[in-house]
Chain A
């Protein structure tokens, strides 16, 4: 029987776990200095996150890739303003959220214009028949019906797993407000899901 404190293999502590403020500051500083390796690291670390966030936030499939690239261009251009007061992930989520809202606004205007000009809307992408994809499509549809503020809090907390204090920072509201938005978003989503499934 082995006794005593639980040891962790040395290499498992040799590097900071992704997302720690020190690593964030260092990676941002290196990017600012034009270190292409650091930029690549940042991209590898956050591209899947940004892509997933944009998907959950309702950016349509055909715009998602471009939107993701544009977020990274915006991140690069704004790295000079990153002061390390928040986590890098929080800061990037904030940029992505702003960008997603802007994209949605532009899309609404485009769709309105195309309606007014009686132009044929682009055909929707071919549906994926798998059960998982169907579930995701329904979820995307339901989430898109939430107000942007509630949607942001729900996506960050429930899908991205961001702690509520970070969610509040990203949404730019007090923590209690974030909880409240989450509560109402959950209630609305459950009600919509019940109606949909019935």
Chain B
């Protein structure tokens, strides 16, 4: 079976041609930068170093069985228990505190079902309702061990549900304003009635149902807006205004924000809190700075949409002078505007180099490197492009863009007649094994370089190309190379 011969591209069967193209498209499908950054934000600190398995598998099964039995017994117990107990207010803890000596004055620590630890603040009031805790008043901090899939731990507070898989977080209710902050893991805040997701929080993020409404780039996109109250005039309108009668929930990524201040923001009760309770927002500190950054980023995007690239560049430059993720993003975006919108490749390269100097381990470092290399190659600065490409290959041994850059380096070496180095670069592409079209091109060009060098492996490399890509786009040239390779080896005559 020739594993690479399907589907053919002979052109006789439109279905096969379609499938070939579609499969090639699928092989090149990649998430955008923002998606990757959002993903990284969510998994960057996924708790502590994972532990190697210490129990034998059989013991794990045994423990699992015991835990399942205990859980079943507990569920049955709760089912049969009088209804009144289910709504018991835990003002006096009924569950024995695990370590009473460690409980801070005025605070109580409870161990709930599933090993969940709840630490009630001095004014915290919590109730168990339908098997799930509900924070009535004050602050309660939870530490939730990892839960099995499909069994999230849910804490209710006012009209909201906080859904977690395994994490540490706090819930505070103050005059009908609900605040949630996350220490570890990921939690989701949902509207209890509709189960609509309002926010997904990573460590360090804070959400509260009060009035502030701000947004930054690189944040997880919320689900469609939840029904809520009218927007207060104090809240700045986003670039795309939400429909009337809907709330626009926005998330801040504020890893560089100071935690205590963020907590203070969540715990504060805004004056108009009760009037605006139900409007949801995630904020970070310093709120003023972030809001300004977000507005600037939105303004730059709006200017670009309106075709006003100089204005967008101006905004990005001003924003890049600040600190934080929005500033880092702006430092990179300014280069993109110069390159793509203003036709200033040299300035763009300078901007990206400045970005690299400011953020040597920045989240957009690879993007900046690739942008510089591609721009230099496009503008004919082959020496500089090759220097950058070689640096990239040295610096990013695991990058997904490695094959792409190696191919570009190979092409640049080949264009200047340096087939020896071109072969080395193409070799990297073949080692990287994808994407498919990059590999095919490198495979053919490597064969061409080897034949040109009079290398004995040239003919074989061309034959290997034909075997792998019998209907490939260079099949005619490769067939010619096979003959050239044989001649050059026999007579050491190099094909032109």
Contact = CB atoms under 8 A, between A and B. Distances in A.
Are the chains A and B members of one assembly? Answer: yes
B416 to A, nearest CB: 14
Contacts of A78: 50
Contacts of A45: 398-400
A79 B50 CA distance: 7
A44 B30 contact: no
A14 interface: yes
B329 to A, nearest CB: 17
Interface in B34-92: 35-36, 38-40, 42-53
Q: Tell me whether chain B's interface is mostly helix, strand or loop, or mixed.
A: helix
A65 B390 contact: no
A149 to B, nearest CB: 18
Interface string B417-449: 001110111011001111110010000000000
A125 B160 CA distance: 27
B22 A135 contact: yes
Interface stretch (B12-20, B125-133, B303-311): B12-20
Contacts of B146: 77
B397 interface: yes
Contact of A52 (B19, B30, B402, B494): B30
Nearest to A18: B398
A65 B39 contact: yes
B494 A1 contact: yes
Given A18-B432, A23-B398, A65-B35, A36 B44 contact: yes
B53 A17 contact: no
Given A9-B390, A72-B39, A197 B15 contact: yes
A23 B397 contact: yes
Contact of A3 (B19, B366, B454): B454
Nearest to A193: B15
Contacts of A41: 398
- For B18, B146, B421, B457, which residue has the most chain A Cβ atoms within 10 angstroms? B18
B53 A11 contact: no
A177 interface: no
Interface string A68-98: 1100110011111100000000000000000
Interface residues of B, number: 72
Interface stretch (B1-9, B232-240, B334-342): B1-9
A197 B44 contact: no
Interface string A17-54: 11100010001000111101001111111011101100
Given A48-B30, A51-B35, A136-B26, A6 B398 contact: no
B27 interface: yes
A129 B223 CA distance: 23
B151 interface: no
B141 to A, nearest CB: 22
- For A6, A32, A39, A136, which residue has the most chain B Cβ atoms within 10 angstroms? A6
Contacts of A186: 6-7
Interface string A116-146: 0000000000000000100110110000000
B398 A44 contact: yes
Given A44-B399, A44-B400, A160 B39 contact: no
Contacts of B398: 18, 23, 27, 41-42, 44-45
Contact of B393 (A12, A33, A51, A160): A12
A159 interface: yes
- For A14, A49, A158, A196, which residue has the most chain B Cβ atoms within 10 angstroms? A158
7 contacts: A12-B406, A19-B433, A44-B398, A48-B30, A55-B29, A138-B18, A197-B14
Interface of A: 1-3, 5-9, 11-12, 14-19, 23, 27, 31-34, 36, 39-45, 47-49, 51-52, 55-56, 64-65, 68-69, 72-73, 76-81, 102, 132, 135-136, 138-139, 157-161, 164, 179, 182-183, 186, 189-190, 193-194, 196-197
3 residue pairs, one from A and one from B, having the closest CB atoms: A8-B424, A34-B49, A15-B397
